[in-house]
Amino acid sequence: MRHLLLLALAAAASAASSPLSRAGLPLSLGRAHSATTQGLDLKALSPPKAEGAPLRLRGGAANPVVFFDISIGGANKGRVTMELYADLVPKTAENFRALCTGEKGQGKSGVPLHFKGSKFHRIIEGFMAQGGDITRGDGRGGESIYGEKFADENLKHKHKHTGPGVLSMANAGPDTNGSQFFITTVATPHLDGRHCVFGKVTDGMDVVQAMEANPTSAGDVPIKPVVIADCGQIS
């Protein structure tokens, strides 16, 4: 199975021929993105502000709110709370929600369809944190609640990769969504139209920043494991 990746637009022919990372992103593009943020205080960047209560779905129901309790190197770092855009991308939001609760049981791969215990296997400072590989844990796997993969959904809706705290699907090209996702730590407009934005961090961006500050080794793998120690649905 091909590595899941965050696709990026190549700015030059040389970038297209650059060595690929574990998840397929040209290393030159990942580093170039980080370089553009040098001199900025990433800790001062705030997530997109929650505009009151979660948006309402047709029929009056509110968008789901879910959480991750994060540990780094075995130490609890706090909770990340997220609103899912079920009003705009219901299938993608439902996949993530159910993977947070674990309510679907065992998947076709033989592992639980549950984020609990899984890792953020790839973190690039000044870019994003990627996780959700529930089958292999290294960026080469993943499984959705609908089977191994499902199609892209409403890529042109109003929410874009506009800043820190955006929740979006990682993929290996069109219509290859599984369980892998990423949380942005800066604006990443080059991913618009290629990755489905399905939610936002509403609380706990300081935890995401702690994840981002954790040193990494080759392949942008965190040296201290960043684990979803617990997860579920709040409302």
Question: Out of 3, 97, 114, 122, which one is annotated catalytic?
Answer: 122
Q: Is 127 a catalytic residue?
A: yes
Q: Is 67 a catalytic residue?
A: no
Question: Out of 67, 120, 127, 181, which one is annotated catalytic?
Answer: 127
Cα 26-200-154 angle, rounded to 5 deg: 75
Contact 220, 22 (CB under 8 A): yes
CA–CA separation, 17 vs 185, rounded Å?
A: 26
Q: Is 195 a catalytic residue?
A: yes
Q: Is 38 a catalytic residue?
A: no
Q: Is 182 a catalytic residue?
A: yes
Question: Out of 68, 120, 182, 198, which one is annotated catalytic?
Answer: 182
Question: Out of 4, 191, 194, 209, which one is annotated catalytic?
Answer: 191
CA 204 to each of CA 45, 51, 57: distance values in angstroms, whole numbers, following the listed order: 13, 16, 24
Question: Out of 7, 195, 198, 209, which one is annotated catalytic?
Answer: 195
CA–CA separation, 199 vs 35, rounded Å?
A: 27
Question: Out of 63, 95, 171, 209, which one is annotated catalytic?
Answer: 171
Question: Out of 95, 130, 177, 209, which one is annotated catalytic?
Answer: 130
Count CB neighbours of 174 within 10 A. 11
Work out the burial of residue 181: count CB atoms within 10 Å of its CB; fewer than 13 is exposed, 13-18 middle, 19 or more buried.
buried
Q: Which residues are catalytic?
A: 122, 127, 130, 171, 182, 191, 195
